[in-house]
């Protein structure tokens, strides 16, 4: 009898744990979904990457601005430098992902990424920097959600507001002020290309002083801007209307 009583207690205990686990999971799911929806119109109070930069002594300089307060040149430069298929994909560039996977298998010591602008936003707004399948799985989920809920214009706007553009410098408004003493709205084509050129590694690749490599890369970005600018899908995203 005592044995049966113990089994019943254990069963009730695990049933309660399962019941509360489901409720907690549901609450967390609803909370994160609500947060995603809210961020369609408001900016994140802080991100894990920004907080980590501040904790590690690199500072936290940022100034969020609206889509219409970011120059046409900067939007074009970001797409040209980081994700030229941004207007056409649904969050993932599968061809680039396959190429990167093959490259990484052949040269495991030299990791090549294939993140789209949407994936970078998902990582920088909701998650932490780093590797691992768990984080990548969460990144895929948030990428799908922002593509579905926000749309391309909001994703690009968020990208240009939260991405790191120098040591402790987050967002294009603060980058424009720090490097060129002007607002993001007034960035020239060359200035936008210089900022966009540093995006793959803004800690290592400096906008100022401009190295020979960065000068070459910024010229490449300007060339790409000329190539993709006539694309009506690109124009639909970068024009203010």
CATH number at residue 153: 1.10.3810.10
pLDDT score recorded for residue 185: 95
Same domain, 53 and 154: yes
**How many Cα atoms sit within 13 Å of 146 on the Cβ side?**
32
Same domain, 117 and 194: yes
Same domain, 119 and 163: yes
Same domain, 33 and 53: no
Same domain, 174 and 218: yes
Whether the Cβ atoms of residue 143 and residue 35 lie closer than 8 Å to each other: no
Whether the Cβ atoms of residue 65 and residue 184 lie closer than 8 Å to each other: yes
Domain that holds residue 106: 45-238
Give the number of domains in the chain: 2
Same domain, 193 and 231: yes
Same domain, 8 and 99: no
pLDDT score recorded for residue 28: 85
Q: What is the pLDDT along the chain (241 residues), one digit of tens a residue?
A: 555 555 666 667 667 777 777 788 788 888 999 999 999 999 999 999 999 999 988 889 999 999 999 999 999 999 999 999 999 998 887 676 555 444 444 434 434 446 899 999 999 999 988 888 888 999 999 999 999 999 999 999 999 999 999 999 999 999 999 999 999 999 999 999 999 999 989 888 989 888 899 999 999 999 999 999 999 999 999 987 7
């Amino acid at each position: 009898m005592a044995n049966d009583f113990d089994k019943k207690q254990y069963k009730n205990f695990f049933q309660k744990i399962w019941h509360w686990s489901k409720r907690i999971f549901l609450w967390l799911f609803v909370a994160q979904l609500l947060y995603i929806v809210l961020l369609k119109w408001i900016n994140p109070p802080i991100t894990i990457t920004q907080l980590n930069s501040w904790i590690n002594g690199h500072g936290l300089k940022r100034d969020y601005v609206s889509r219409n307060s970011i120059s046409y040149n900067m939007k074009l430069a970001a797409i040209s430098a980081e994700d030229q298929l941004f207007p056409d994909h649904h969050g993932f560039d599968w061809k680039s992902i396959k190429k990167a996977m093959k490259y990484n298998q052949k040269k495991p010591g030299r990791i090549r990424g294939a993140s789209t602008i949407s994936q970078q936003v998902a990582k920088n707004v909701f998650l932490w920097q780093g590797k691992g399948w768990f984080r990548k799985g969460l990144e895929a989920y948030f990428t799908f959600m922002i593509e579905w809920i926000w749309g391309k214009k909001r994703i690009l706007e968020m990208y240009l507001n939260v991405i790191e553009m120098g040591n402790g410098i987050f967002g294009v408004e603060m980058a424009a002020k720090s490097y060129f003493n002007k607002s993001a709205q007034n960035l020239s084509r060359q200035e936008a290309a210089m900022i966009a050129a540093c995006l793959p590694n803004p800690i290592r690749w400096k906008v100022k002083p401009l190295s020979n490599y960065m000068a070459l890369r910024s010229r490449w970005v300007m060339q790409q801007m000329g190539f993709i600018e006539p694309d009506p899908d690109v124009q639909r995203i970068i024009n203010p209307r």
